[in-house]
Each structure stands twice: as C-alpha cells, then as structure tokens.
Amino acid sequence: MNKIIGSLTLCALTLLAVVSVAAQDDETRQGTGLPTLVGENAGRGNRMNVSGKVSLMGTDQPKRRPVITVSVLMSGAVLDRTTTNDKGFFIIRSVPRETVTILVEVDGNEAARQVVAASPMGNTSLEISIPWPSLAPPAKPGVIAADQIYDRSPNNQALFSKGLDAAKSNEKAQAITFFNELLTADPKDHIAWTELGTVYFKHDDLDNAEACYFKAIELKRDYFMALLNLGKLYFGRKQYDDSVLVLTNAVKARPDSPDAHVFLAEAYLQTKKGNSAVYHYNEALKLAPIEKAEVHLRLASLYDAAGLKNKASNEYKLFLNKQPNYAEKERLEKYIKDNPPK
C-alpha cells in the first residue's frame, strides 16, 4: 500500500511539474507566435530554452520600433542569437544547461547584459527592461568623438543616413545599396565602410564583413569601431590570436571603452594568457563598475578553477554589493561563507 501511495504521489508531482512547464511554454508560444512543444525540456536534460520579453521603458514612444537582438554568450562566444517580435518576445532553443550571459542590443548598441544560472530542469524565462529612449548617458553638449567626424557632400550624407536607417530597420539589401552608392562616390569614407561591414556582420556574411573592416582600417588605422567589430568577428570564428591583435589596437585607440577591455580579456583567455585577461577585466570594472558588474562573476569562476577560492569569494562579495537582488544570491553567499575572503 505504501509503495502504491508513494507511486501515486510521485506521479502527481510529475504531473504538476509538467503542467507548470506546459503553462510557461504556452505563454512563450502565445507571446512569440512560434510553435513550442508542450513540456519541452521539462526533464533534467543537458539543454534548455531561453525565452522572455524585452520591454522599452520610458515616457517617449518611438516612431519606429528599434531592432532588438538577443544573444546567448558562453565564455564570451555567441552561441545563438535572435530578434524580438513586435511585442518584445523572443525564444532561443537548445541552449546548453550551463551558466550563460544574455546580451541585448538595441539597433546594434549594447543595452543590457544578464548572467543566467542554469536551472536544474525546465526552461528559463526572463523579463528585461531597457531605458528608452536614452540607452547611454548623454554626451556633453557640442562634443563629438573625433573619429566619428567625416566631411561628406550633402548627397553622400543623405545616402549615409538612408543606409543607417535601413540597417536599423533590418533591411539588409537596401542598406547595402545605399552604402555601396556612397562608397562608389567616395571610397575613402572609413565610417561608411565600417557601417557596411556591420550590415554584413549582423547577417553572418563574415567574409564581406571582414573585407569592409579591413578597408576601413586601411584608411584609418586607429578607427575604433572597425577594430572592435573585426576583433569580435575573429573571436566568433575562433581565430583568437588574430582577435587579440586587433582588440589590442582597439584598446589603444580608445582605452576608456569597457567593452573593448572585456572582449580583449575573453580573447586572452582563449589564448591561455590568464594574467592579461584578469588585467583587462579589472580595467573594464574600473571604467564601468556597475554596468560591467557581471565581470566579477567571470573573475570568480577563473579564481575558483585555479583553486584560489578566497579570491573567488572576494569577487562574489563585490558582485553582490552591486547586484544585491541577484537570483543566485544564496548560492554565492554560501560560497563566501565556506571560503571567507582574505
């Protein structure tokens, strides 16, 4: 009798879990408009789905909804990416059931990062809010980065603006047409070459993207955006030595860029140069202590793997000071308690 009751209880719990997961999957299906299998990844498999909604928060309503891209990163490399639908919903399937980073970009600009610890079973659902329309602190009045200035004719400036608008609207063919027309008229416009490269990059046409970035750098060797994007392209291709070389020049061109330091640190890790990686992670934290708070988690994992648990605890402590509502707070606090920082 006890065995029967126990079996019935187990069945009831299993049914409850499946019903709960089914409800979440149905919510995702309705939000994204994409088909999902009821109960998909309900068990303890090695894969999970990551889904959710990205909301633009602010008083101003955009005339044109920007292109919002969500990427899954692991060890700095992009595993998969997707764009949200017109309601802000997204879903990325078959993500390894490990700790990953979710990167959100709005019109090609990084807007948010969130570290996601893998759940033991089921799928992961996120709610991400982005300030709108200001995605970054406003620049000082009248100040424009020197490397963003290029003297164009009125006609070429109009083509440049049309190319940017088409790229932001995810209209690849039109963007390429506008930038090519501009570059036929003025092949020395390094900024236009870079923007054209980024159009190709976003659509996984990496050979053309690489050629455009090369041309931009040939015209202006210290142009930051071309260097940064080419470094990211090489990283995605697992050409880590090339990535280090290019990103080192990006950091030299703009040493105040926390993103450049983080990407260079990730590339150094892949080339087994941990000390250099730690240095650039810390430089990123100095420049953006709150925005790049998840770097503390990266450093902690490196220290833990090296057996330096006290240093790992210190990084966890610094992270929790900045992100006190972190979902895995209890786990980190236990680690800190078991391995007191010195």
Looking at residue 340, its amino acid is: P
Evaluate whether 225 touches 258 at the Cβ level (below 8 Å).
Answer: no
CA-nearest of 191, 193, 196 to 147 is: 191
* pTM for this predicted structure: 0.63
Which CATH architecture is the domain 146-338 placed in?
Answer: Alpha Horseshoe (1.25)
3-state helix, strand, coil in the chain (%, to 5): 50, 15, 30
The pLDDT of residue 75 is: 61
Evaluate whether 52 touches 126 at the Cβ level (below 8 Å).
Answer: yes
pLDDT score of 121 more than 80: no
Strand duo 109-116 + 77-83: pairing? unpaired
Q: What is the pLDDT of residues 33-67, one digit of tens each?
A: 444 444 444 445 688 888 888 887 654 555 566 77
25-131: CATH class: mainly beta
Number of other residues whose CB lies within 10 A of the CB of residue 330:
9
Backbone angles phi, psi at 324, to 5 degrees: -65, -15
pLDDT score of 143 more than 50: no
ω before 133 within 30° of 0 (cis)? yes
More confident residue, 328 or 90: 90
Q: What is the pLDDT of residues 15-42, one digit of tens each?
A: 333 333 334 444 444 444 444 444 444 4
Evaluate whether 193 touches 216 at the Cβ level (below 8 Å).
Answer: yes
Q: What is the pLDDT of residues 131-141, one digit of tens each?
A: 665 444 333 44
In this structure, the chain runs to a length of 342
**Would you kindly state where each structural domain of the chain is located, as residue ranges?**
25-131, 146-338
Within this chain, domains 25-131 and 146-338 share the same CATH topology: no
Q: What angle do CA 301, 304, 308 make, to 5 degrees?
A: 135
C-alpha–C-alpha distance, residues 97 and 45, integer Å: 8
Strand pairing partners for 131? Answer: 57
